[in-house]
Amino acid sequence: MNENRRDDYLEHIRQAASDALIFVEGLNKDEFAEDKRTQQAVIMSLIIIGEAATKIMDRYPEFTVENAQVPWRSMRGMRNRIAHGYFDINLDVVWETVQVALPALLKSLPTAQG
């Protein structure tokens, strides 16, 4: 399959993770808990990350095996929990994801093959 498309999905993940980090910049956990607009923006970023990860997993399974340092299943799982349990989103988990998992994710993503 087309590597350019795969690289597009990787860029979507990279951009959405970076956006989420920017959205919470300067906020503490309590401020985040009170800021519905920022919550929605971060949650949408997590959905984008999960969708792109799912596309890569489905279309480029060998690539995900070669890049096992990337938490593909976790990204897909987070997206599914948000999409299917939208009214039960745990903001503590969302906050922890942005603070810990997304910076680690950005470091683990492979660079584009161009």
Cβ–Cβ under 8 Å, residues 61 and 31:
no
pLDDT at 114: 45
> Catalytic site residue 12?
no
Residue 91 lies in a domain: yes
Residue 112 lies in a domain: no
pLDDT digit string, tens, across residues 11-22: 999 999 999 999
- From the list 14, 37, 81, 84, the catalytic residue is 84
Residue 43 lies in a domain: yes
- From the list 14, 73, 79, 81, the catalytic residue is 79
Residue 113 lies in a domain: no
User: Which ranges constitute the DSSP H helices of the chain?
Assistant: 3-24, 29-34, 36-59, 61-66, 72-84, 91-96, 102-108
Residue 97 lies in a domain: yes
Residue 63 lies in a domain: yes
Q: How many domains does the chain have?
A: 1
> Catalytic site residue 79?
yes
Residue 62 lies in a domain: yes
Residue 55 lies in a domain: yes
Give CA–CA dist 84/92, Å, rounded: 18
The whole model's pTM is what? 0.92
Domain that holds residue 50: 2-107
pLDDT digit string, tens, across residues 58-98: 999 999 999 999 999 999 999 999 988 878 899 999 999 99
pLDDT-derived band at 41 (thresholds 50, 70, 90) equals: very high
